[in-house]
């Protein structure tokens, strides 16, 4: 029994040592908060950027592809540059969660300061003040109307997700292929079913539905 415990402690120590090693190499941007460095897929610690397909709405009501815009901005800032990443954890998708520096600058902090990502307070408060400053300045994504990336992931159709209790707007596609959203209380809300396999989905806000290409039901 003592021998087994000793082996387990040794294994934990070796895993911790491996995790502590830095990852150095040329950085390739995957999306707003995910990069490849030296062949390792890295999820940046402490931030959460819009998903690549995530829409938003301008204050004037114009639909905008925020997720794609963020990815392109991060690419322009960091792609192809030398990076050093310090591993902190491994997420459920097998990605290394790490804090990365490029040219002595904390990449996560830069992205939050520029309004290209949110501070992911669920996991870290490191960038809390950076986000608050970006919000005050309406910088980047803070100048748009959009759901948080976490909420968007909950409602994005992946052939498996159930609607969040707070996301009750029904995005229906009629026989002519027209995308129409129904609010609770409208005439056809109760009889409207959602078929994910047909591309139908649930929304958390009218702004999200409009930005995704759905129009409101007339009654």
pLDDT digits (tens, 9 = 90+) for 153-193: 776 544 344 456 778 888 888 878 899 999 988 888 877 88
Dihedral angle sign, alpha carbons of residues 135, 138, 140, 142: positive
Q: What is the pLDDT of residues 36-45, one digit of tens each?
A: 999 999 999 9
Q: Where are the domains of the chain?
A: 23-145, 149-216
Residue 78 scores a pLDDT above 80: yes
Specify whether the CB–CB gap between 181 and 169 falls below 8 A: yes
- How high is the mean pLDDT of the chain? 85
Give the range among 11-15, 102-106, 212-216 with minimum mean pLDDT: 11-15
Active site residue 206: no
Mean pLDDT to the nearest integer, 65-89:
96
**CA 20 to mean position of chain CA atoms:** 26
Check whether domain 23-145 has CATH 3.40.50.300, yes or no: no
Structure tokens at 180: 């129409």
Residues 6+ apart with CB under 8 A from 58: 64, 143, 144, 145
Catalytic residue among 28, 52, 95, 151: 95
| Known catalytic membership, residue 92 | no
pLDDT digits (tens, 9 = 90+) for 102-131: 999 999 999 999 999 999 999 999 999 999
Instruction: Determine the Cα–Cα distance for residues 102 and 80; give it in Å rounded to an integer.
Output: 10
- 99 pLDDT higher than 70: yes
Any catalytic annotation for residue 153? no
pLDDT at 61 over 90: no
Task: Out of 43, 73, 99, 210, pick the active-site residue.
Answer: 43
**What pLDDT, on a 0 to 100 scale, did the predictor assign at position 150?**
86
pLDDT at 147 over 50: yes
The C-alpha atoms of residue 46 and residue 118 are separated, in whole angstroms, by 9
CA distance linking residue 80 with residue 33, whole number of Å: 15
Residue 111: per-residue pLDDT: 98
Q: What is the model's pTM?
A: 0.68
Higher-pLDDT residue of 219, 120: 120
In which band, very low, low, confident or very high, does the pLDDT at 204 lie, cut at 50, 70 and 90? confident
Residue 210 predicted with pLDDT over 70: yes
Q: How confident is the model at residue 11 (pLDDT cuts 50, 70, 90)?
A: very low
Report pLDDT for 151: 79
């Amino acid at each position: 029994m003592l021998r087994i415990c000793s082996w387990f402690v040794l294994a934990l120590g070796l895993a911790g040592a491996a995790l502590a090693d830095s990852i150095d190499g040329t950085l390739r941007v995957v999306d707003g908060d995910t990069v490849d460095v030296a062949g390792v897929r890295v999820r940046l610690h402490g931030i959460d950027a819009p998903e690549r397909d995530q829409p938003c709405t301008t204050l004037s009501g114009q639909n905008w592809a925020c997720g794609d815009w963020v990815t392109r901005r991060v690419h322009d800032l960091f792609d192809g540059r030398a990076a050093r990443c310090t591993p902190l954890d491994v997420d459920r998708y097998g990605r290394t969660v790490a804090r990365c520096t490029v040219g002595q600058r904390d990449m996560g902090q830069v992205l939050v300061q520029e309004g290209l990502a949110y501070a992911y307070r669920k996991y870290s408060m490191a960038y809390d003040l950076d986000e608050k400053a970006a919000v005050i300045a309406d910088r980047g994504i803070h100048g748009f109307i959009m759901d948080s990336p976490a909420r968007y992931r909950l409602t994005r159709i992946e052939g498996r997700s159930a609607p969040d209790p707070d996301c009750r707007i029904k995005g229906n596609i009629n026989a002519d292929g027209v995308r129409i959203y129904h609010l609770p209380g409208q005439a056809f809300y109760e009889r409207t079913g959602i078929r994910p396999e047909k591309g139908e989905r649930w929304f958390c806000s009218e702004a999200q539905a409009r930005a995704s290409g759905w129009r409101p039901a007339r009654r």
